[in-house]
């Protein structure tokens, strides 16, 4: 029954809900997906700013679940935006998050620090990808020389 409560509750504080995840798939332009990825990353940043990530003993199941949902949303947005490296990073971190979901007692300072550091690394990945895309689109087109008369 506990799982049903999580599925039916739309307004649990600190948890990403299905409503949040439903917004992202309707986006079309790459810039919209990048913005959605940044929103998901901001959400993860808010989750890890809670003191329980500094003190693993205080880490709650709700916080771990919120992190997992926000990470899934970030991965979906990264996929749609074409951020391969960020998708792989999300997949790698998902292993740690799933272990914490299965057994919260395995939470340690190193795992919590990895979850917290991920926010900074993901921001850098998004910034590098968007800057790279801008450089490629700004290249001047070289037109062939005009024929001599």
pLDDT tens string 45-96: 999 998 878 888 888 999 999 999 999 999 999 999 999 999 999 999 999 9
- Number of Cβ within 10 Å of residue 105's Cβ equals 10
pLDDT at 21 over 80: no
Rg (CA), the chain: 19
At residue 136 the predicted structure's pLDDT band, cuts being 50, 70 and 90, is: low
Cβ neighbors of 118 (< 8 A, separation 6 or more) are 44, 89, 93
Question: How confident is the model at residue 118, as a pLDDT?
Answer: 95
Q: Kindly report the pTM of this predicted structure.
A: 0.71
């Amino acid at each position: 029954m506990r799982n049903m409560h999580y599925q039916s509750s739309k307004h649990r504080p600190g948890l990403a809900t299905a409503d949040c995840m439903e917004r992202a798939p309707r986006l079309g332009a790459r810039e919209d997906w990048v913005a959605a990825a940044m929103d998901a990353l901001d959400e993860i940043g808010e989750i890890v700013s809670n003191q329980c990530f500094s003190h693993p003993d205080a880490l709650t199941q709700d916080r771990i679940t919120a992190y997992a949902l926000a990470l899934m949303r970030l991965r979906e947005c990264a996929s749609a935006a074409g951020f391969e490296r960020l998708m792989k990073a999300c997949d790698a971190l998902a292993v740690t998050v799933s272990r914490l979901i299965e057994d919260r007692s395995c939470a340690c300072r190193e795992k919590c620090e990895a979850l917290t550091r991920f926010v900074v690394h993901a921001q850098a990945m998004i910034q590098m990808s968007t800057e790279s895309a801008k450089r490629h689109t700004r290249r001047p087109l070289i037109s062939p020389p005009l024929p001599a008369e």
